[in-house]
A and B are shown apart, each in its own frame.
Chain A
Amino acid sequence: MLGCAEASDVEAGRRKAEVCAACHGPGGNAVIPGTPSLSGMPAFYTHWQLNMYRDGRRRDPQMTPFAEKLSDTDMADVSAYYAQQAAGPPRSSAAVDRARAEAGRPLAEQLHCTSCHGPTLMGQQAVPRLAGQDLAYLDKRLRGYQSRTTSDLDGQMTAIAQPLTEADIRALVHFMAGMTPRPAPAPGVPGAPGTSGAPGVPGAAGR
């Protein structure tokens, strides 16, 4: 049931993603500030974002022209490929301010980030990985949700971002950017290694 709604071909995805590496980095570990790492990103998430670039709900001068040319199969393949790539160490660790990151930890609790992004913020289903993501990118997206200028599949992030202050946003993105990507522990076994993405957590929740 999970991630297999459309047939996808990881090897085809690897070839199709060659052009993406210029910005998103080898294996989807980005090196350009402001550009997201796609490695270890749940396939549904990457695929939905490509959908939204194609239909205009999400806009970017670089991404839009690429996405407009992609078929559903291309999107499925590329998304499946990136989902299988190991997330590298935190992208922006040099830029992470430890005091801000520490302030962000309780804030992430208060905002229930793990409810959808998973216990280690590695993302699931249509919900993205945040752990170790590029700092400038996290900052841009969170501000985008607040100003309602970035895509939001089901409205959840737009609502969550509204009460955030400048300091809140900075604390959250420093906390998330500083996290080392690691799989979520298996359900019921605290700290045990497990596979991420196992429990069903909503991307597009609803009835």
Chain B
Amino acid sequence: MRRTLSIAVIASLLGAVALWIHPSVAQQPPPSWKQGQPAELANSQLAPIAQPPAPKAPGEIPVDKIKVPAGFKVSLWASGINNARAMTWGDKGTLFVSSRVAGNVYAVVDKGSTREVKTIAKGLNQPNGVAFRNGTLYVAEIHRITKMEGIEDKLDSPPPMTVVYETLPKDAPHGWKYLAFGPDGKLYFNIGAPCNICIPPDTHANISRVNADGTGFEYWAHGVRNSVGFDWHPVSKELYFTTHGRDWLGEDVPSDRFDHAPKKGLHFGFPYCHQGDIPDPQFGAGRACGEFAPPLIKTGPHVAGNGVEFYTGSMFPAEYKNRAFLAQRGSWNRTQKIGFRIMMVTLRPADVPRYEPFAEGWLQGSEVWGRPVYTRQMKDGSLLISDDYAGAIYRVTYQR
């Protein structure tokens, strides 16, 4: 008995020593951006474009390279906004601007000929989503949605961020959120797939909504790999959104998507079917693309469509009314870069939508100097475009 015990003790001690000395972790999945890369591309030099740590100085921003249709003009509206992303207006004319890895939320105060930029929150967990209603700013980080009440009167001493909703996954890949109020007064946001390509948990790869008080969470759209931009049509009040397609499937496939989700519960195909007609080589078996909602527009391979905004202003020519502006931040998973532009969509009854460029020039040859991420209409009908690479906001105006 005693001898048996001693042997057991010695064995467990040896085990502990072995654990202490010998590495034990098994083969791990690659980082999410590299996941799904086929073996023959293992030495590919393609990788996401690194986010610069500081915004560009105004003199380093070649606004004149941005080309727009005749009659339109582009100017540099604000600069020095590190990693500037989504934009939303306060009731009193403050523009709130989000960022991702910079971790900041900014307030831009229009002083007529100049703009003053204040950092109203910092050190946050990729606070990509900002939405404003009834004097309150809502901020979506990866793991929570918070609010700042009465913020516009307290830009120099911002109120505390109080939690609205935090029953959210904490995964970093595709965890950052777009945030917007729908016509129903609910807050809509995305929960992206935590991977390049995988069978996501039931809690991921969707667009969801929650009441402004944090109650009533529900999924709106499923099978959405990563949508970080959406808007509702001004007339139909139906939801339209962009989606980033998976990487490493090829130079020209799959296309990113512009989608229409007029009702709750539709499935848009991820991870089984890409761009409506390409079954995933690994996960597509046993499923048919016909099971899923097809894209309204194939927006192009790897273009990285972010912002969606329907134009409702009166400055631009009449045909621009109700057109959607799509901001495409640009490709990394493609040897010939594509995107880095603002596209526009004209929805046409009983016909396919028209899809054409509106602003381009951030890509010069193979060199990128800026990346347009979101748009936001101004009260006068001009259009702001954020650029997270240059840390700037441009303004597009039109004069007959």
Contact = CB atoms under 8 A, between A and B. Distances in A.
Do A and B come together as binding partners?
yes
A202 B33 contact: yes
A107 B172 contact: no
* Most chain A beta carbons < 10 A, residue from B28, B30, B102, B173: B28
Interface stretch (B43-51, B90-98, B153-161, B275-283): B43-51
Contact of A200 (B47, B101, B126): B47
Contacts of A7: 57, 60
Interface in A28-57: 44, 47-48, 50-52, 55-57
B21 A126 contact: no
B290 interface: no
Interface of chain B, main secondary structure = loop
B25 A48 contact: no
A166 interface: yes
Contacts of A67: none
B122 to A, nearest CB: 4
A76 B50 contact: no
Nearest to B173: A155
Contact of A44 (B24, B32, B50, B102): B50
Interface in B327-355: 329, 332
A115 B142 CA distance: 24
A82 to B, nearest CB: 13
A13 interface: no
Contacts, number: 159
A55 B25 contact: no
Contacts of A201: 47, 50
B269 interface: no
A57 B123 CA distance: 5
B45 A110 contact: no
A126 B34 contact: no
A166 B20 contact: yes
Contacts of B26: 110
B368 interface: yes
A1 B391 CA distance: 15
Interface residues of A, number: 56
Given A167-B20, A204-B100, A5 B47 contact: no
A164 B47 CA distance: 26
Given A199-B45, A205-B33, A207-B228, A126 B50 contact: yes
20 contacts: A1-B369, A2-B50, A5-B52, A6-B54, A55-B123, A72-B55, A103-B21, A103-B22, A154-B126, A155-B126, A167-B23, A168-B24, A187-B45, A202-B50, A203-B50, A205-B31, A205-B47, A206-B101, A207-B228, A207-B304
Given A6-B55, A57-B123, A205-B48, 20 more contacts: A5-B389, A6-B52, A6-B56, A51-B53, A110-B26, A111-B28, A154-B126, A155-B142, A155-B171, A156-B31, A159-B171, A165-B19, A166-B19, A166-B20, A187-B43, A200-B47, A202-B49, A204-B48, A207-B226, A207-B304
Interface of A: 1-2, 5-7, 44, 47-48, 50-52, 55-57, 72, 75-76, 79, 100, 103-104, 106-107, 110-112, 115-116, 125-126, 153-156, 158-160, 163-168, 171-172, 187-188, 199-207
Interface of B: 19-34, 43, 45-57, 60, 82, 100-104, 122-123, 126, 142, 171-176, 226, 228, 244, 304, 306, 329, 332, 367-369, 389-390
